[in-house]
Amino acid sequence: MTSLLIILQEIASDTVKALKDPEIIGWSGILGIAMPILKTYFFADFQFLIFLGVVIMLNTISKVYVIFRDTPNEFSIKTLVNKFSDKIIKYTIALICIHVLTHFTINGEQNQFFTFVTHFFYGVFIVSETRPTLERLGIHLPEAVTEAMHKFLKKKTE
């Protein structure tokens, strides 16, 4: 028990020393300035980003599992990294576009035209990542889910 306390004291001491490091303070200052700009003009819903990250990882893990199970000789780490990077870049661009579309201002007032867009596309992204994951595991979502999403989008864009 005492050795655990000593280890915890050392960790706390090292943490305090690190927080006094000018380089870390400089980074926190940069982040302190950059975060409000990032949240205003690029993206602000970091809680959703965590949920999206979880389903992307589960989708990736299930894909790797199926490849290893069915065709282990066809697995390529380079292909995996390329496809994963491509997906992250596409989602990043899409999330920034959605944020701009739903948060731009006109004469200082936030627009009210596209308030549905965030909820719809966030739902589409989560379903898009969850559906293939579940299907690889033998669980199939009813087509009604996909059809309902298409009908909702068509209705909102008319």
Q: How far apart are alpha carbons 122 and 48 in whole angstroms? A: 8
Pairing outcome for strands 105-106 and 109-110: antiparallel
Using pLDDT thresholds of 50, 70 and 90, give the confidence band for residue 134. Answer: confident
* Low-confidence winner among 4-18, 35-49, 51-65, 103-117 (lowest mean pLDDT): 4-18
112 burial level (CB within 10 Å; 0-12, 13-18, 19+): exposed
Every domain of the chain and the residues it spans:
1-41, 43-157
- The pLDDT tens digits of the residues spanning 118-129 come to 988 999 999 889
Per the structure block, which two tokens stand in for 88?
């992250």
**Count of Cβ atoms closer than 10 Å to residue 109 Cβ:** 7
| Site of tokens 């990250």 | 53
The beta strands (E) that lie in 20-148 are given as 105-106, 109-110
pTM over 0.75: no
Which H helix or E strand runs over 51? helix 46-70
What does pLDDT average to over the chain? Answer: 80
Rounded Cα gap, residues 43 and 137, in angstroms? 33
Residue-wise pLDDT for 40-93, tens only, equals 888 889 999 999 999 999 999 999 888 888 888 888 889 889 999 999 999 999
